[in-house]
Amino acid sequence: MAKKHKGLMGPDPTKPQRAGNVERLPAGKIVFLAPHPLPTGEPALNEGAVSELNDTWLDYGAGWPGVFGNQLILGGAFKGFLLIAVVAPLLLYPFMSQRLFNALSDGFIVNGLYMAAVALFFGLWGALSVHSKRKKVIPTRFHRQRREVCFVPEKKSGGGYEAPVFVPWESLRVWVFETRGATQYGVQQQYGMGIGYVLPGTDKWVKTEFMTPALPLAISEWEALRSYMEYEVNSLDEIQSPLAIREEGDPPWEGAHTIRNAHRRLHRRRRDGEVGWLYTLGWYLYHLLTFWTLPGYLAEFETWLLRRSGKKSLPPEMVEWSKPLPKEQWAKPSKELVPLSEEVRRIREQNPALSIEVVFSEAYKRQG
C-alpha cells in the first residue's frame, strides 16, 4: 500500500519538466511521468490511497481506517486478560498448595481485568489520536470533467490549511524515484511517488508524496489516476489490487465485509490446497481472539464519522469546484496529448521491454 510521507527525495522545482525526463540523484534517480500524462503500460492499481471516486471526481491520499488496528486493540486486551486470568494460574498451579491457589484465584481474574483495561485504554488513546489526525486530512481531488486537480496545502505553521490551488491536469508534475540509503539495518532501497505543481512565477511546490514497496507499484498507482482522468477507468473495481481482501461491489473502505471476504477466501484456499489445517486453525483462533467481525463494525463506524466530518471540513471553493458540469462543458484533451499517447502505445507494442523514460522520450522524438 502507498503510504503518505513528507520530505521524500523530490525534484528541483526550478527546472521545467516533461514526461520521460530523468534527474540523477547521488544514489538513484527521479523519472517524470507528467506533464504530459502519457500512458505507462503498467496495470492501473489502487493500493489503498484512492479513498473515493465517482463519475466526476476522485480523492487521493486520504485513505480509510483499517480492520487490523482494531483487531490489535481488541485482541491485545483479550489476550492480556487470558494471560493473567488463565495462563498464569495454569503455570503456577503445580507449584502452589490448593489452599493458596484458591485464595489467589479471584486475584488472577481481577488482575486480568486490570490488564485488559490498561491495554484497552492505551489502544483507544492511540486510535483516537490517529482519528483526530485523519479528520484534518484533505485529500488531493481529481476532477476529470474539468481536467483539473485540487490541492489544499497545509500551512507551514501547522495550524490549518491555505486556500485551495486548482491545477490544470496536463500541467501536473508526477515523478517516481528510486534511491539507496545506508541505515542501521544496512543498505536499503526506497521507492516513492510524488504529485505536485510549481506555482507560476515561484519555486513553491504544492504536492503530495508517497512511499511504495516497489517502483512498478508507484507507476501503477499513477496509472490508476491517469486512467480515471482519461475515462479509461470508471469504478474502484477496475483498479482493485488482486491481493486486496475486497470483492466487486464493496465500498472503498474496510468493514465487517472485509472479514467475511477473508473467511470466504480462506475456505477457497483450503479447497484448492494452498493452505493446510494448521493455518486454518490459526486463522480461526486469531479471529476468535479479536471478536470476529467486531473490528470491522468499529472500522465502519469510524469511517462514517470521518465521512460526515470530512464533508464539513472541505473549503467552500473546493465544494463548488467539485460539482459536476453539463457534458457540453467538459474539458477536452489537448491536441498534443492525443497523438503523443497513441505514439507511446505504438512504441510499447513494438518493444515492451523498453524502460518508461525511453518510451516517453522516443514518443516525443517521433512527434517532433
Q: What pLDDT shows up at residue 66?
A: 84
Separation between Cα atoms, residue 336 and residue 36, nearest integer Å = 9
Size of the chain, expressed as the number of residues it contains = 368
Between CA 75 and CA 116 the distance in angstroms is 10
Which residues of the chain carry a pLDDT beneath 70? 1-10, 93, 97, 100-104, 157-159, 181-187, 310-312
- Residue 47 pLDDT: 78
What is the C-alpha to C-alpha distance for residues 52 and 228, in angstroms, rounded to an integer? 12
- Across the strands, what pairs with 210? 4, 193
Distance of alpha carbon 191 from alpha carbon 8, whole angstroms: 10
Does the global pTM surpass 0.85? no
Predicted local distance difference test score (pLDDT) of residue 181: 62
CB-based contact 293:259 (threshold 8 Å): yes
Using DSSP, state whether 70 is helix, strand or coil: helix
The DSSP call for residue 217 is H
Q: What is the pLDDT of residue 9?
A: 54
Q: Return d(Cα 270, Cα 181) in angstroms, integer.
A: 41
Q: Report the run of H or E that residue 50 belongs to, with start and end.
A: strand 50-53
Which has the closest alpha carbon to 3: 189, 190, 248, 245?
A: 190
Query: Cα–Cα distance between 317 and 5 in angstroms, integer?
Result: 26
Q: Which three cell numbers stand for residue 54?
A: 465517482
- DSSP class of 169: G
Burial of 36 (0-12, 13-18, 19+ CB in 10 A): buried
Identity of the residue numbered 232? E
pLDDT, position 353 = 86
Query: Hey, CA dihedral for 80, 85, 86, 92, is it positive or negative?
Result: positive
CB-based contact 177:198 (threshold 8 Å): no
Give the pLDDT of residue 114.
Answer: 85
